[in-house]
Structure 1
Amino acid sequence: MNSVVVSSNYVLDALVGLCVGDALGVPVEFLTRSYLRDHTVTDMMGYGTHNQPPGTWSDDSSLAFCLAESLCGGYSLNDIAVKSVQWYEGTLWTPHGSVFDIGIATSRALHRVASGVDRLVSGGAGEEDNGNGSLMRILPIVFYLKDKAIHERFRIIAQVSGMTHAHIRSVFACFIYCEYALLLIKGFEKRQAFKAMQAEVNDFVKKHAALAEKELNHFHRLLENPIGDYEIRPIDQYTEAEIASSGYVIHTLEASMWSFLTTNSYVDAVLKAVNLGNDTDTTGCVTGGLAGLYYGLEAIPESWVDAIARKQDIFDLATRLFTSLH
């Protein structure tokens, strides 16, 4: 193993990493890739799409922070749901006191939770319910799961994702992302970690029949195990034109892994992700979480960190979560 950085607080690295990536993408959300080729994001900006000041993070970071806040007291799906609803109602982990962005599936699910629907069945489970709304917030769960067996990791990830996104495709996207993040925490070089993730996940699928062949093929670019006539090629060998950046969970996962694996710094990774266009805040957030874990807080420009809303609250949250788990 070749570790790039061993941080004293990898929770802080991840939370700031995802938040900064999110904030970089907020002003240009929904703008096209072709537009951003001519108006490239190179620094923290404000206003734009959502008319928010520089450093404003979206629902992606808000719900990740709600999860992290809940985990400070241990794992409770009910408490995660309660805190997520508190954000939905504008009283917890908003950047400036109000909610300005929320996905349709997440909104529907949290409305169900607030209405008393069981958290285990509140998320949409249809094929059309595979937006990236659980992937964007899932990263903090890895800190709780890092010493648990893989089948237990999968079970808990399925619960946390399923609160808003219960289809197996969304669950499995979160599982792949978390398994990769766990290997980065353990100090693997990022490409070694990616190969190790593929081996672990493919073995899990084989042993536990965790995914039907039809569903498994949706992940062929990431797991390199296609059934049928698919080309086997590492994700970092795809061209930008072959990488989509919509709000579909597979697109977000592929774009984030691609952005991370085809660059060599935090800055380059998140800017590459955001400049793909469309769902810029979420691609930036998901990429930024990995890049923050891998390169560490010191690799994130100080001016970007200083710009993020509620910086000290985020630092305090990371310290509380890290301390509670050690």
Structure 2
Amino acid sequence: MLQQVSGTLFGVAIGDALGVPVEFKTLAYLQNTPVTDMIGYGSWNQPPGTFSDDTSLTLCTAESLIGGYDINNMAQLFVKWYGEAYWTAHNNVFDIGHTTRRALHRVATGTSPLVSGGFEDFENGNGSLMRISPLVFQLANEMDIEKRYQMVKEVSTITHQHFRSVFACFIYVEFLRILLVEKDIFNAYQRLQHTIHSFLAVRQFNPNEIKLFKRVLQDNLASLKEQEINASGYVIHTLESAIWCFLTTKSYEECVLKAVNLGEDTDTTGAVAGALAGIYYGHDAIPTKWIDGVARSSDISQLAQRFAAALNFQPA
């Protein structure tokens, strides 16, 4: 289990750090000058190995879950990150989305985290998707899919409560959960589609919203060409691009480099794809030079050990 917990946390952090220096670069630019290793400076003028808000909030999520599921505690750790640079790479917050900023301000001023997140159409960035991967370990033995959905909804809602963001997070966490035990990537993807379709069959969600997930849930994402993948910060684009990178590669390294080299929201695509590859391939499949090179490597390792020890579960 430690392989998967550590693989997930480092998977996020390294994917994020690979993407930070080239955030906002285009696919065309990165096709000419692709990222092949951990570099520094660039878009945010940060040293090599620096991770962003994606990782900081992922690590806050994991730390909160060590003490058991407590949505108020989790939200307060997010506020501590924003206000005190908690779990940042170098004691400064240099990247935060507008929706997340507004939501954490609400939490800090007394709003319940169960209603603090943005709920407008335009507030469907990837700010909850990027941080939610540790929740899979809390839900690994939860056999009731309705309970899994409700917990994902609550954790997303701290910053993003629109259905689209919540449902993207739910699909993602369900995929991670399947990858805990399914060792054939395409069987896992087919199981994901079947699981979500079965869930939808007994729910009355807005069909116009569900249609937006067609490429993930009905098509075969792996059959799409790179030019058909959009790596913007829109939550559905991030979900599609991360899953596509995972389905079309054969190692952690190949997956995250493919994600980052799609351009645009490179750190988040790298982080979201990184968790998929990290949980599937495990910690030991991540290049040692990247484990050693990412900021706060020893702190992340210690957190992974504490988290795995606290969970003490056997995957269902």
Normalization by structure 2: what TM-score? 0.97
The corresponding residue for 1:274 is 260
Matched, 1:48 2:42: yes
Aligned amino acid, residue 171 of structure 1 = V
Matched, 1:203 2:198: yes
Runs of 4+ in structure 1 off by over 6 angstroms are none
Matched, 1:216 2:210: yes
Q: Is the 8 A contact 1:45 1:54 kept in 2?
A: yes
Q: Which structure 2 residues correspond to residues 97-108 of structure 1 after superposition, within 5 A?
A: 97-108=91-102
Matched, 1:309 2:304: no
- SS of the equivalent of 1:154 reads helix
Distance verdict in 2 for CA 1:8–1:120, change over 3 Å? closer
Q: Is the 8 A contact 2:3 2:284 kept in 1?
A: no
The corresponding residue for 2:247 is 261
Q: Which structure 2 residues correspond to residues 163-178 of structure 1 after superposition, within 5 A?
A: 163-178=158-173
Counterpart selection for 1:190 from 185, 205, 208: 185
Alpha-carbon distance between aligned partners in 2 of 1:223 and 1:34, rounded to the nearest angstrom = 28
Alpha-carbon distance between aligned partners in 1 of 2:268 and 2:298, rounded to the nearest angstrom = 22
Aligned amino acid, residue 159 of structure 2 = T
Distance verdict in 2 for CA 1:78–1:294, change over 3 Å? same
Aligned amino acid, residue 87 of structure 2 = W
Alpha-carbon distance between aligned partners in 2 of 1:20 and 1:85, rounded to the nearest angstrom = 23
1:11-70 CA-to-partner distances (Å, cap 9, x unmatched) read: 111001111000000000011111111110000000100011100000000000000000
Q: How many residues align?
A: 311
- SS of the equivalent of 1:9 reads helix
Alpha-carbon distance between aligned partners in 1 of 2:197 and 2:166, rounded to the nearest angstrom = 15
Alpha-carbon distance between aligned partners in 2 of 1:215 and 1:46, rounded to the nearest angstrom = 39
Aligned amino acid, residue 271 of structure 1 = L
The corresponding residue for 2:155 is 160
- SS of the equivalent of 2:141 reads coil
Alpha-carbon distance between aligned partners in 1 of 2:84 and 2:92, rounded to the nearest angstrom = 5
Q: Is the 8 A contact 1:144 1:325 kept in 2?
A: yes
**Structure 1: runs of 5+ lacking an equivalent:** 1-6, 225-232
- 1:92 is displaced (CA, Å) by 1.4
Q: Is the 8 A contact 1:305 1:311 kept in 2?
A: yes
- 1:90 is displaced (CA, Å) by 2.5
- 1:104 is displaced (CA, Å) by 0.8
Q: Is the 8 A contact 1:9 1:319 kept in 2?
A: no
The corresponding residue for 1:20 is 14
**Structure 2: runs of 5+ lacking an equivalent:** none
Counterpart selection for 1:234 from 206, 209, 220: 220
- 1:9 is displaced (CA, Å) by 3.1
Q: Is the 8 A contact 2:7 2:286 kept in 1?
A: no
- SS of the equivalent of 2:202 reads helix
- 1:91 is displaced (CA, Å) by 3.9
Counterpart selection for 1:246 from 232, 239, 255: 232
- 1:8 is displaced (CA, Å) by 4.3
Counterpart selection for 2:276 from 290, 296, 315: 290
Matched, 1:132 2:118: no
Q: Is the 8 A contact 2:11 2:277 kept in 1?
A: yes
Normalization by structure 1: what TM-score? 0.94
Aligned amino acid, residue 113 of structure 2 = R
- SS of the equivalent of 1:319 reads helix
- 1:301 is displaced (CA, Å) by 1.1
- SS of the equivalent of 2:84 reads coil
The corresponding residue for 1:109 is 103
- SS of the equivalent of 2:111 reads coil
Q: Is the 8 A contact 1:9 1:322 kept in 2?
A: no
The corresponding residue for 1:77 is 71
- 1:95 is displaced (CA, Å) by 0.7
- SS of the equivalent of 1:89 reads helix
Let me know the Cα RMSD of the aligned residues: 0.9
